[in-house]
Structure 1
Amino acid sequence: MYSIGKFSEICKVPVKTLRYYSEIGLLEPSFIDPFTNYRYYDYDKIQAVQKIKLLKSCQFSLAQIREFLENQDSGPWEGLFEEKLRELEQKRKQLDEQMEQMRRLKEQVAKASSLLPGPMMSECCLEEREALRVYTIRRHIKPVFIDNLVQDLFDRVYAFNLTVKGKLMAIFHERGLSQGEADVELLLPVEGNAQIEGCKVLPAGTYACLKIKGPYSELGAGYERLQHWLAEQNLTRKGDYLEIYEQGLVPSEYTGREIHPDLSLPPSELMTKLCVPVALWE
């Protein structure tokens, strides 16, 4: 005879489960000590537990298992076993189909990834840039809403009757603010010397530059490369990084307020120029 604790270890069934099986009449102890109420199980009960575990794994209910253990006549059970075999076979087919669908999806994702290459970057270089008059707008926004800020910028340019003379630019003064916001300044080169609030001049000077061809989500790699190049060349940054959207975001042709992101270009064809003013040490 085995104590309930030892029997639990041998059969790998929790003591709590054995007590429950006893309560519902599924597996009675071989002997209960009348003085201590300790439960004991003999060797035959091990085989009974193995049958219970096997039938449970085949999705039989405890009530069905109890009926099976009480009635060892195999006749009535043959049909039920056949039905369970058909159910399991059907589940196996469903699993095979799901696995095949998952394989196809995996292949499609891998193929799509290969069609969207990583960013192409030019060599880093220095260039002299002339002073540039720009009209700017600056706000704390979530980057996903930058299109709205672009629209507001062009609405103001239209309202002030300013003539646009270059590509849209952006300065991210600070990223990772509260609620996922960033301190974003958009800049648009404009013609003339009108003293309008919001206009300023980007100073002339030497700029370290890099072009990135690819989705905007990959611009971080461009920042890293340019920063590394500055360190290699012993150059000191003396201003903010400037993103110039040479191709994409804003269409090359537009009229008045009819400005919107250029959705005709695939992300792999977007072109962004990254510039930062530097100090030269002789």
Structure 2
Amino acid sequence: MFKIGDFSRLGQVSVRMLRHYDDLGLLKPSHVDQWTDYRYYTIEQLPRLNRILALKDLGLSLEKIAELLQHDLPLEPLQDLLRSKQTELHQQMQEAQARLDRLSARLYQLELEGQTSVYDVIVKSVPACHIASARHIVPVASDMPKCRGILIEQLYRWLSQHKITPVGCEIVLYHISEYAEADIDMEFAIAIPEPTKPIADTGQTSIIVRQLAAAQVASVFHDGMVRDVTQAIAALFSWIGTNGYISSGAIREIHLFGPETKRVKDQTVVLELQIPIVARQRASFDPLQPVDKMR
């Protein structure tokens, strides 16, 4: 028999780990001296130790290994467990590759722009919600404040008439694929409870109730003047192109500062900008690919 230290050197496992295996019931000493509590192992226990190490190397937890060894390593449960671990590792590899792509894209963007962006973009999932909205084509950018005011008034009057209390922030949707100075398709909306019955028409046919679809979005927060929002949108489009995505829906401007009717002119605000995205079909980030930039 071998003392624990000798068995440790033979099996290339630390004494501390052998004691841990003993506590878990994975590998009990062949003999424990009742007077000194010294642990002794036999040469025949080395195959079991190697089996533990082999399963551990595959990424299985010690608890799972103990469960398998307790039932003499049955074939089907072992196969199921290894397939599950294989799927888990593939997922981890994909996540790690995506993170590596984002790091590469961020470095490339820094080199391209020569400075640190004030906007940090993240990808997140947003759930679907019901909205009431009013939509209008804004002739030119300078008409935006006037058109927004008209849509806001129509929307809140409609909500009041139908006794509907909003359940979320105001949302401005820009149905455009790139920056535009004219013919801007804008929709002013607000989240409402899901209707339990059809809402009677009061003659204001410009107000519609619909579901805003769930989406994976690129998101950024803007803290500043409303007139500078275009800078945040430009940063979003630049990030989307650099990171291997394409836009797949209307730009969403989420008013975190409260109702626009209470906003003071030239007051700084905090709002969130979201653009729904889907992955471009390419394996990984390629710095030689052209960068989609909003001009």
Q: What TM-score comes out, normalization by structure 1 length?
A: 0.48
Structure exhibiting the larger radius of gyration computed from Cα positions: 1
The TM-score with structure 2 as length reference comes to: 0.46
